[in-house]
């Protein structure tokens, strides 16, 4: 004997209605918390009300929102939160860029040292007495003058130091840090700017290592112009490591973020970050775990 279909008729009838729109913003099911974004909106044949049926729990949800005083204040707080979020993102980008400049400069600086080099044509045979005055000039030049007796001028010049067995480990660590900075920066970009096309992320991935590398090169060339040819390969390697990290972040950033969200957040909270799945054309995670 066939089961009656009276209970299924409203559902079947609703699903047969042609969609009139899609939900394009985050909208959460009141029953299970599922993110209804991208779900079709249909007009109920009996009430003519625009409804959406949750694919998680099967409930019918209205797509129209009532406006209350609480929602107005929530919108105001949301605007403030958005402003703070933008400030945080800009600070993170500038902070990562500044860190890249610092580590690029450090990679060259730690492989050099200051050496004392007498300046030709000056006298340094007589030591300065207790009444001497010392004047320090830029570039490491130090002038010691004893009252009317002698002047000693010595330059402390930065030179490449003797190689150390740990230098390779240090260089690898600096390149690893640059790689990590590029990866984190582009991971942040693919998560925050998930609406971009994938080729759009290549611009910051290339621009950041180029700009930071040129800036570090300029600072070094001003302070130590005699070592600029020696330092250029170091700057290029640091920029290349940062670029490689950025490109890796473009490819693996959102999958890594999805894995992190899946491992750390419960189903209902994962719905807030459903765009991490929708941006790559993947179905959003379940709002509740089946037992």
**Residue 103 reports pLDDT greater than 90:** yes
pLDDT at position 93 = 87
128 and 203, same structural domain?
no
d(C-alpha 284, C-alpha 291), whole Å = 19
Ordered DSSP codes for 248-264: HHHHHHHHHHHHHHHHH
Backbone angles phi, psi at 28, to 5 degrees: -110, 140
134 and 33, same structural domain?
no
Each residue's pLDDT tens digit, 44-85: 777 777 888 888 887 877 776 654 555 566 667 777 877 888
pLDDT at position 141 = 52
Q: Where in the sequence is the domain holding 19, given as residue range(s)?
A: 1-78
Which of 152, 96, 157 minimizes the C-alpha distance to 125? 152
45 and 135, same structural domain?
no
Per-residue pLDDT band at 215 (split at 50, 70, 90):
very high
For residue 279, the 8-state DSSP code is T
Domain count, the chain: 3
In a domain? residue 284:
no
In a domain? residue 287:
no
pLDDT at position 137 = 47
pLDDT at position 129 = 47
189 and 99, same structural domain?
yes
Contact 105, 213 (CB under 8 A): no
Ordered DSSP codes for 125-160: SSPP-TT-EEEE-GGGEEEEEETTTEEEEEEEEEEE
149 and 8, same structural domain?
no
197 and 273, same structural domain?
yes
Which of 161, 141, 116, 138 minimizes the C-alpha distance to 223? 138
pLDDT at position 177 = 95
Contact 54, 32 (CB under 8 A): yes
In a domain? residue 9:
yes
49 and 98, same structural domain?
no
223 and 260, same structural domain?
yes
In a domain? residue 260:
yes
122 and 251, same structural domain?
no
* Sequence-ordered list of residues with C-beta below 8 angstroms from that of 211, at least 6 positions apart, any chain: 97
d(C-alpha 51, C-alpha 78), whole Å = 26
pLDDT at position 289 = 53
Each residue's pLDDT tens digit, 107-165: 998 888 877 766 554 444 444 444 555 554 444 555 555 555 445 556 677 788 888 88
pLDDT at position 223 = 86
pLDDT at position 25 = 73
Ordered DSSP codes for 37-92: TT-EEEE-TTT--EEEE-TTT--EEES-----HHHHHHHHHHHHHHHHHHHHHHHH
Long-range contacts for 163-166 (Cβ within 8 Å, ≥24 apart)? none
- Average per-residue pLDDT in the chain? 79
In a domain? residue 103:
yes
Task: Among 34-43, 88-97, 224-233, 255-264, name the one with the lowest average pLDDT.
Answer: 34-43
Each residue's pLDDT tens digit, 167-210: 889 999 999 999 999 999 999 999 988 888 888 899 999 999 99
Per-residue pLDDT band at 212 (split at 50, 70, 90):
very high
In a domain? residue 86:
no
148 and 40, same structural domain?
no
pLDDT at position 288 = 63
pLDDT at position 145 = 54
213 and 103, same structural domain?
yes
pLDDT at position 150 = 47
Reduced to 3 states (helix: H, G, I; strand: E, B; else coil), residue 30 is coil
d(C-alpha 227, C-alpha 229), whole Å = 6
**Residue 2 reports pLDDT greater than 50:** yes
Q: Is the pTM of this model over 0.85?
A: no
**Residue 255 reports pLDDT greater than 90:** yes
In a domain? residue 289:
no
101 and 221, same structural domain?
yes
d(C-alpha 258, C-alpha 282), whole Å = 11
Bridge-based pairing state of the strands 21-22 and 40-43? antiparallel
In a domain? residue 189:
yes
Tokens of 163: 């190689």
Tokens of 289: 């775990």
Burial class (CB in 10 A: 0-12, 13-18, 19+), 16: exposed
């Amino acid at each position: 004997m066939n089961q009656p279909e009276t209970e299924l008729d409203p559902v079947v009838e609703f699903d047969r209605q042609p969609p009139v729109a899609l939900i394009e913003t985050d909208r959460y099911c009141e029953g299970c918390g599922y993110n209804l974004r991208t779900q079709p909106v249909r007009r109920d044949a009996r009430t003519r009300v625009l409804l959406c049926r949750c694919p998680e729990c099967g409930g019918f949800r209205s797509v129209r929102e009532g406006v209350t005083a609480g929602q107005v204040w929530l919108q105001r707080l949301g605007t403030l939160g958005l402003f703070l979020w933008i400030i945080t993102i800009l600070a993170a980008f500038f902070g990562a860029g500044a860190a890249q400049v610092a580590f690029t400069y450090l990679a060259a600086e730690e492989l050099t040292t200051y050496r004392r080099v007498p300046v030709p044509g000056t006298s340094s045979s007589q030591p300065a007495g207790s009444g001497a005055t010392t004047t320090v000039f830029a570039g490491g030049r130090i002038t010691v003058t004893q009252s009317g007796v002698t002047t000693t001028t010595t330059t402390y010049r930065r030179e490449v130091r003797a190689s150390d067995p740990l230098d390779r480990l240090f260089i690898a660590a600096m390149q690893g840090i640059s790689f990590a900075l590029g990866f984190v920066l582009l991971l942040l970009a693919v998560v925050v700017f998930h609406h971009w096309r994938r080729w759009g992320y290549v611009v910051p991935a290339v621009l950041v290592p180029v700009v930071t590398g040129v800036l570090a090169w300029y600072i070094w060339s001003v302070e130590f112009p005699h070592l600029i040819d020696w330092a250029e390969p170091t700057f290029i390697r640091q920029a290349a490591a940062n670029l490689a990290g950025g490109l890796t972040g473009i490819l693996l950033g959102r999958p890594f973020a999805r894995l992190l969200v899946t491992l750390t957040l419960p189903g209902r909270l994962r719905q807030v970050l459903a765009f991490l799945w929708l941006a790559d054309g993947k179905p959003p995670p379940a709002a509740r775990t089946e037992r």
